[in-house]
Amino acid sequence: MKKDDCIFCKLANGDIPTRAIYEDELFKVFMDASPVTRGHSLIVPKNHYDNLYSLGDEEAKAIMPLAKKLATKMTDVLHADGFNILQNNGTVAGQSVFHYHLHLVPRFKNDGHEGKLDWGHLELTDDQLDEIMNLLK
Ligand SMILES: [Zn+2]
């Protein structure tokens, strides 16, 4: 299930070389070509899925244990002070490559990004919050 014109299909399946740090039958994990922090890497499924909505159940089930394992190792090896796991779906959410991928972002004191993940806060009334809860449950 590869898509011909997809750069991440080529990277995940070895058609284009990567700085790979992990590989199994479902995923390749390689360093981001434009890292946000030291060690910033991507977990990329070998099969093509546009985003979370179409991600295979097998990959969905396997990806968080893998993220935990790699984040733990990266934190240890790189002496990180914290860690972000980030995954974008759709242009409005910041997705720029339309092949599902999960960002592993080790964080360091004074890494220059403090506050850059600040999403601010919506001011919502109790009625508005209840309305959203009722839609979601
Ligand atoms: Zn792809």
Ligand 1 centre to CA of 26 (Å) is 13
Q: How many CB atoms lie within 10 A of CB 100?
A: 26
Domain assignment present for residue 77? The answer is yes
Pair of tokens at residue 37: 């922090």
Domain assignment present for residue 40? The answer is yes
48 is annotated as an active-site residue = no
Ligand 1 centre to CA of 51 (Å) is 10
**Which of 26-40, 47-61, 63-77 shows the lowest per-residue confidence on average (mean pLDDT)?**
26-40
Question: Residue 124: which pLDDT band, with cuts at 50, 70 and 90?
Answer: confident
Domain assignment present for residue 1? The answer is no
Instruction: Tell me the pLDDT of the chain averaged across its residues.
Output: 92
Ligand 1 centre to CA of 125 (Å) is 42
Q: Report the CATH number at residue 60.
A: 3.30.428.10
Would the pLDDT of 115 be above 70?
no
Would the pLDDT of 113 be above 90?
no
Give the residue carrying structure tokens 């991600």. 55
Domain count for the chain? 1
SS3 131: helix
Half-sphere exposure of residue 74: CA atoms within 13 angstroms, side-chain side: 27
Tens of pLDDT along 91-112?
999 999 999 999 999 999 988 8
Angstrom distance (rounded) from CA 137 to CA 46: 33
Ligand 1 centre to CA of 40 (Å) is 20
Of 40, 99, 101, 121, which is the active-site residue? 101
Helix (H) or strand (E) holding 64: helix 57-78
Domain range for 125 is: 7-136
Pair of tokens at residue 85: 């796991």
What is the percent of the chain with per-residue pLDDT over 90, rounded to a whole number? 74
What is the percent of the chain with per-residue pLDDT over 70, rounded to a whole number? 96
Name the DSSP class of 28: E
Half-sphere exposure of residue 100: CA atoms within 13 angstroms, side-chain side: 19
